[in-house]
A = this chain, B = another copy of it.
Amino acid sequence: MKPMPKSLYLAAGAYTVSLGTGRPEFNPRKPRPGLEHYIQEAGQASLAQISDPNLIDEGVIGNFMAARFNKQGHLGSLMTIAHPALEGKPMIRVEGACASGGLALATGIKSVLSGLAESVLVMGVEVQNTVKAIYGADILAGAGWYAGERKQGGTYFFPEKFSQRAGAFGAKFGEEKTRGAMAAWYATAVENARLNPLAQEHHNAVKDLMAQGLTPPDGRSFCEHLNLFHCSKVSDGGAAIIVCSKEGYKRLGLKRDDVVKIVGYGHAAANLTVPPPDLTELTTSRKASGLARKMAGISKDDYGVIEVHDCFSITGMLSLEALELVAPGESVELVIAGENKRNGRFPTNTGGGLVGYGHPTGATGVRMAVDLWKQLTGRAGDYQIPLKKEHGIMISMGGNDKTVVSLVVRK
User: What is the interface of chain A, defined by CB distance below 8 A to chain B?
Assistant: 5, 34-36, 59, 64-65, 67-68, 70-81, 86-97, 103, 106-107, 109-111, 113-116, 138-139, 141-147, 150, 267-273, 284, 287, 398-399, 402-403
* Chain B minimum-CB-distance residue to A265: B116
Give, as a whole number of angstroms, the nearest-CB distance from A399 to chain B.
5
Kindly state the separation between the CA atoms of A106 and B70 in the bound complex, as whole angstroms: 26
B74 with A144: CB separation less than 8 A: yes
Pick the residue among B67, B116, B269 that contacts A142 (CB under 8 A): B67
B77 with A92: CB separation less than 8 A: no
A80 with B115: CB separation less than 8 A: no
A95 with B95: CB separation less than 8 A: yes
Given A107-B107, A110-B114, A113-B113, the answer on whether A95 and B81 have CB atoms closer than 8 Å is no
Pick the residue among B35, B36, B113, B138 that contacts A114 (CB under 8 A): B113
A94 with B91: CB separation less than 8 A: no
Kindly state the separation between the CA atoms of A71 and B139 in the bound complex, as whole angstroms: 7
Contacts of A64 in B (CB 8 A): 73
B270 with A81: CB separation less than 8 A: no
- 22 sample A-B contacts, Cβ–Cβ < 8 Å, listed by A number: A5-B115, A59-B269, A64-B73, A65-B73, A71-B138, A72-B142, A74-B143, A74-B272, A74-B403, A77-B97, A77-B402, A80-B269, A80-B270, A86-B269, A91-B269, A92-B103, A92-B106, A92-B403, A107-B110, A110-B111, A110-B116, A113-B113
Given A114-B113, A115-B5, A142-B71, the answer on whether A89 and B268 have CB atoms closer than 8 Å is yes
B403 with A91: CB separation less than 8 A: yes
Kindly state the separation between the CA atoms of A375 and B86 in the bound complex, as whole angstroms: 36
Given A67-B67, A96-B93, A147-B70, the answer on whether A270 and B87 have CB atoms closer than 8 Å is yes
Contacts of A139 in B (CB 8 A): 71
Give, as a whole number of angstroms, the nearest-CB distance from A32 to chain B.
12
Pick the residue among B72, B81, B96, B114 that contacts A74 (CB under 8 A): B96
Contacts of A68 in B (CB 8 A): 67-68, 71
Pick the residue among B80, B95, B114, B398 that contacts A272 (CB under 8 A): B80
Contacts of A97 in B (CB 8 A): 73-74, 77
Q: Which 6 residue pairs are nearest across A and B when measured between Cβ atoms?
A: A113-B114, A67-B67, A91-B269, A90-B267, A73-B142, A77-B272
17 additional A-B residue pairs with CB within 8 Å, beyond A72-B147, A74-B403: A5-B116, A36-B147, A72-B142, A76-B403, A77-B96, A77-B402, A80-B270, A88-B268, A89-B268, A89-B269, A90-B267, A90-B269, A92-B94, A92-B267, A93-B96, A109-B114, A114-B114
* Chain B minimum-CB-distance residue to A144: B74
B81 with A92: CB separation less than 8 A: no
Kindly state the separation between the CA atoms of A92 and B107 in the bound complex, as whole angstroms: 9
Give, as a whole number of angstroms, the nearest-CB distance from A275 to chain B.
13
* Chain B minimum-CB-distance residue to A69: B67
Kindly state the separation between the CA atoms of A88 and B139 in the bound complex, as whole angstroms: 25
* Chain B minimum-CB-distance residue to A138: B71
* Chain B minimum-CB-distance residue to A140: B73
B269 with A88: CB separation less than 8 A: yes
